Amino acid sequence: MVPLAIRTVLDTSQIFLGRRQFFRVTEDVVVDGVLVFGAGAVACGRISSIERDRLGRCLSVGITILNVQATDGRQVMLDQRKILIKLEPTKAPGSLVRMNAEVIAFIAEENSAIICNETHVR
């Protein structure tokens, strides 16, 4: 598995299906003694699902990871790994959303959340 972190802030009020989302590899990935993906390499995914409640608040964002830049510069296709980020839109604006004790987002307005850059996804 390639450990990733969201590279840019993701605002749920501005996302749409198919939008590209960039990640960075957080740790070196070595296979059979060969460095395949170096920490800091860029990975690309696409928003594959958005779940909203009847009030328009974002409940979850699904992202499919498409490829990662290998140490030799090639774009390596991954196994279409899906990541699901669940939010808590019922919290008041300014509230934090945590996943495994890590702050992953904050509720910005009534209908949007800001998912922090550097949020780790595995």
Q: What predicted TM-score, i.e. pTM, was given to this entire model?
A: 0.76
State residue 58's pLDDT score: 83
Written as one string, the DSSP assignment of 45-101 is EEEEEEEE-TTS-EEEEEEEEEEEE-TTSPEEE----EEEEE--TTSPTT-EEEETT
Query: What's the confidence (pLDDT) of residue 81?
Result: 77
Task: Report the chain (122 residues): mean pLDDT per 10 consecutive residues.
Answer: 82 89 91 94 92 85 91 87 74 62 57 63 59
Q: Which pLDDT belongs to residue 98? A: 63
Task: Specify the pLDDT at position 49.
Answer: 92
